[in-house]
Structure 1
Amino acid sequence: MDIHNPTYVPGHQLLAGKSVLITAAAGAGIGFAAALKAVQEGCRGIVISDIHEGRLNEAVEMLKKETGLDQVYGKTCNVADEEQVQALVAFAEEKLGGVDVLINNAGLGTSKALIDMADDEWMKVIDVTLNGTMRMTRQMMKVMKARGQGGVIVNNSSVLGWRAQKEQAHYAAAKAGVMALTRCAALEAAEFGVRINSVAPSLCAHPMLKKSAPEALLKQLEGREAYGRGAEAWEVANVMIFLASDYSSYLTGENIACSSQQA
């Protein structure tokens, strides 16, 4: 494979027979890419969620059309709302007959210098990106523990949990929190057979980023990558699917960098 111009990797049934729940999966980024890969890897059913109902309905229909899987369901959810989180997990449990894999993809990022940042700007990013991941993880852990059949949780973190970038203090703090949450929750969940890991992308070249970020900044970020480009969303999704599969059976509490970024 040409690492500078990668070719999409077909499925190999890594999730055959498993059921999957993914948050923030109705856009054109990592969440939907992970949903598509999960189906292509043989999952028996999938629930995707998003805060945007119209976009979510379109994503459900697109997944059905592109994959031929009938067991594709959507439910709106704001992960900043505990009642909606509980309702989403209950919905997925009912529709899928139990969730085997949860992928926490929901997150919120903005660019703002810390010195100019208001408390509500800080808290909004923290509440969606860190607290939302915690709420979903906590609720899924309760359900998986009660069911007694194990399971897997995969969180979306970021290399900014390790590395510094201007105007990203709130997002970096949230993602560092996701990493710490992953490590600590994994120790607790190991007692009842649930694995929890996270994926830390560096630069992912999805359409939303290209639309929102200044071109000069994107060029600068691409210049830091060893391959001179951002990851395709499906390349990040591949790592998520690996962590969700039995191929990573001895991995828990790990934060896997999906990055070609140079030090």
Structure 2
Amino acid sequence: MDRWIGKVALVTGASSGIGSDTALALANAGMVVVGLARRVELIEELANKVTGSGKIYARKCDVANESELMEVFSWIRTVLCGVDVLVCNAGIFRCNFITQCESSDYRDTFNVNVVATCICIREVVKNMKERAVPGHIFIINSILGKRIPDVSFPMFGPYPASKFALCGLAEVVRKELLYFKLPIRLTSIHPGMVQTDMIKVFDSALAQRLPKLQVSDITANILYCLQTSLDVHIDELTIMPAMVPLMSHSEF
């Protein structure tokens, strides 16, 4: 992580879960982190937990609001010059049958999960190109962006559709980066169920029975990608929890 010390990372949805854990880990690794969320007070509390050489700036922002998002990028350019690592993590999940959702559920899901990601990538790539610096973009996708599991109650709403859209977005952006010969890598991460506030929308008894990843599992993979040689492109990672308990040494 030495080459990223002092560099700027932007993490959306940094108030909890994967975003919070990633923001803290990057700051502890020496990066200057800008954390975005509506619950900015939670990021301010997180900033006090930094033990490494970096720091966390807490910025209140609803990523579905383009004017608020553009204000953040203006502030970053003025104060910090630009972004070197982008972690598009903000997302919402409306647990319902898609045929019974309100129209606002469709719009809200795509505005947060897809449109905000498009805007963040556009602004970050533009800035990286102007500064002629290498960068790394992460899209926190989902296993639901690759396949829909067979379940008794498929109450996924428009969430999987938004995640499938991110797969297409990632493919197109990679080709654009190659076309413009930019030293920017893009990694799309597809976790299975992660122990975060988002799974509270599911029936608690069902959620408790299913194997789950921890947020630190996702953070560890983000750090791994950042530490690889700039000649190495990790386009995609699928990270799933073990379906059976791991055996102890005595069981081998």
Q: Name the TM tier (shorter chain).
A: 0.7 to 0.9
RMSD, matched Cα: 2.2
- Output the amino acid matched with 1:155: I
Deviations 1:76-100 (A, max 9, x none): 1222222222221222233333321
Q: Does 1:18 align with 2:2?
A: no
Counterpart of 2:212 in structure 1 is 230
CA distance in 2, matches of 1:247, 1:34: 20
- Label 1:46 to 1:121 Cα distance change in 2 as closer, same or farther (>3 A): same
2:21 maps to 33
Q: Tell me the equivalent position of 1:258.
A: 239
Which digits, 9 at most, give the CA deviation of each residue in 1:182-229, with x for residues without a partner?
A: 1111121232221111111111012x1454432222145x1xxxxxx3
The answer on 1:50 being equivalent to 2:37 is: yes
Pick the aligned partner of 2:103 from 110, 116, 119: 119
The match for 1:4 is none
Q: What TM-score, normalized by structure 2, do the two folds share?
A: 0.85
Distance in structure 2 (CA, Å) of the matches to 1:163 and 1:14: 36
Mean Cα displacement is larger for which, 102-111 or 159-168?
A: 159-168
How many angstroms apart in 2 are the aligned matches of 1:143 and 1:70? 22
Instruction: Compute the displacement of 1:125 (Å).
Output: 0.7
In the alignment, is the contact (CA less than 8 A) between 1:186 and 1:197 conserved in 2?
A: no
* Residue in structure 2 matched with residue 198 of structure 1 by the alignment: 188
The 2-side partners of 1:246 and 1:108 are apart by 30
- Rate the CA distance shift 1:261–1:102 in 2: closer, same or farther, 3 A: same
| Residue pair 2:4, 2:30 contacting (<8 A) in 1 also | yes
- Per-residue deviation, 1:102: 0.7
Of 125, 148, 172 in structure 1, the residue corresponding to residue 160 of structure 2 is: 172
Is this contact kept in 1: 2:13–2:36, CA < 8 A?
yes
2:58 is equivalent to residue 74 of structure 1: yes
Maintained 8 Å contact 2:27/2:54: no
Partner Cα separation in structure 2 for residue 245 and residue 142 of structure 1 = 23
Q: Which residue of 2 aligns with 1:99?
A: 83
How many residues align structurally?
237
Distance in 1 (CA, whole Å) between partners of 2:65 and 2:158 is: 20
- Structure 1 unaligned blocks of 5 or more: 1-11, 223-228
- Compute the displacement of 1:14 (Å): 7.3
